[in-house]
Amino acid sequence: MIVNPILPGFNPDPCICKVEDDYYIAVSSFEWLPGIPIYHSKDLKNWELLTHVLDDTVVDLKKLPSAKGIWAPDLSYCEKEKKFYVIYGVMNNMNARYFDIDNYLITSDSIMGPWSEPIYIHSAGFDASIFHDDDGKKYILSLDWETRDNYEKPGVINIVEYDCNNQKIKGYPKRFWRGATDRGCIEAPRLTKHGKYYYIMCAEGGTGYNHCVSMGRSENIWGPYEADPIGAIVTSQPVESNERADYDHLKPRYYNPDSILQKSGHGSYVNVGNETYLVHITARPFVTDSPDERRRYRCTLGRETAIQKMVWTKDGWLRMADGSNLAKVEVSEPNLPAFNAQRTPDFDDFDQSNLGNYYYSPRISSNRFCDLKSKKGWLKIRGGEALTSLNSVSLLCRKLTACNVVMTTKIHFVPEAFQQSAGIVIYYDNMNYSYLRIYYSETLNSPAIMLQQMENGTRKQWLDERVQVDTNKDIFMRLIIDGRSLHFEWSYDNCTWYKNGPDLDTSLYSDEYCQYGEFTGTMVGITCIDRLTHFKCAEFDFIEYKINQ
């Protein structure tokens, strides 16, 4: 059996693509680099992080607020050209719900790249995708974001033909699809062909608790399209609703207590011989007692990727293989040889010449501040701006994939001014993080350790628990996450540990609780800050990321 989610942690908006015996999934990366992670499998059960598509030489994400940046990439393969296509959007602005996004197209002969220079497509909406028709023509789809009064929001799906020779669209996009349900908040359009029909697959209900996958079909690519008679084909909330007038995406009132997987929607499917599998967004929230409904269900791990087994009916509609439309945790696997996927390591001693591909940094590439050559077996991080910055932050993270984790590191750092610090971090966005740091305390006239928290832009420091430390010695730090509770500890010898700061609520780090960002997920990592000269460095001997069973 396949156990969902197949890509745990911050891995939203999956798009699946098959090339011969290989399967690839691209997911969103928002403000994090490298951008557009690509996962690989040969059996749909075991997945490995293979590569990424973008870095900061291609895309400039600096100064963008949290949850902006790279949205919902579309990965496809044109068999006639033997070429991979990626369509991605850079969300630049969401102020006053104007949603300014620029959509680009890049290609490569190999999934490993190199990728072509980006070609600008249009700014006519987000979640753009491409369809390669049998006759060689290509079409771009996206959600045409609505800003006018007295029009249904968030908008309507549009389509436009793409001219490959001249590398531009032919005319303006045409609006053609409002969805197969009345859940509203349509997005994530993808066009496919099966038999004599073109199929439009979309997400409806908003990327929250009323989320679903829906479809329509037509014999003419321009429509009109017939709505699937059952409405949602995959969802966490099977009860149909009319929410076209409510364009809030979260809708926590549709939380389904009978389902482990929540927020299921935003799908993409692939045929596996005579079988069909669909990947989709899902989430697994903490259920809290918050009086605020929008914060009652908190998804610390963010939106994850799950998979469902599907079948095509005799009358040409796609259905879940078990006859329901409720997303399942356990799914029958295809009859494919087992794939020995490369696991992301639990321990990194920084002995390699390059950082692992599972490390991420906000808005800038980690090679801007990371050095593995100066001190063999150690990672040197040059201090950057404060963790609240939207510009150049020296923060190296990996995705939190479970809520029962111990992450440990060993640091050599000698701060000389209070503006300099280094340590271990749990981070949702620049306004929500907790940071156990070594810094210079003028009060103690000595380097010290103290926990600092940023909660929706409000800073808290546990001054009474700061402790003088000897920075002639290396210092171990660890973050312990145990379900809804987390705390930090430090040690000189990795044996005797001292807790610093109180137990904190893990669920605070979630798309529901955080007010300055959404759509992403929690990260854990290491950082160095030097707000004085940007020259001071911290050295890290290793990172261990251990999931407790």
Could you say which of 13, 74, 333, 530 is catalytic?
Answer: 13
Confirm whether 13 is a catalytic residue: yes
C-beta contacts of 174-180 below 8 A and 24+ residues apart = 174/222, 175/144, 176/222, 176/223, 176/224, 176/225, 177/202, 177/216, 177/223, 177/225, 178/152, 179/204, 179/214, 179/216, 179/227, 180/204, 180/214, 180/215, 180/216, 180/227, 180/228, 180/231
User: 458 CB contacts (<8 Å, ≥6 apart)?
Assistant: none
Element (H, E) at 486: strand 485-491
DSSP-assigned letters across all residues of 358-411:
T-BEESS-GGGTEESSSSTT-EEEE-BS-TT-SS---EEEEE---SEEEEEEEE
Which residues are CB-neighbours of 339 under 8 A, at least 6 positions away?
41, 42, 43, 45, 46
Q: Where does residue 511 rank: exposed (0-12), middle (13-18), buried (19+ CB within 10 A)?
A: buried
Token pair 């271990």: residue:
424
* One-letter-per-residue 3-state SS of 149-213: CCCCCCEEEEEEEEECCCCEECCCCEEEECCCCCCCCCEEEEEEEECCEEEEEEEECCCCCCCEE
Residue 119: which H helix or E strand, with range?
strand 119-122
Beta carbons within 8 Å of 459's beta carbon, 6+ residues apart: 452, 453
Q: Is the distance from CB of 539 to CB of 375 less than 8 angstroms?
A: yes
Rounded to whole angstroms, the maximal C-alpha distance in the chain is 78
DSSP 462: -
Catalytic residue among 187, 204, 518, 539: 187
CA–CA gap between residue 277 and residue 284 (Å, rounded): 21
For the question of residue 187 being annotated catalytic, the response is yes
**Strand partners for 3:** 330
Q: Among all residues, which ones are annotated catalytic?
A: 13, 187
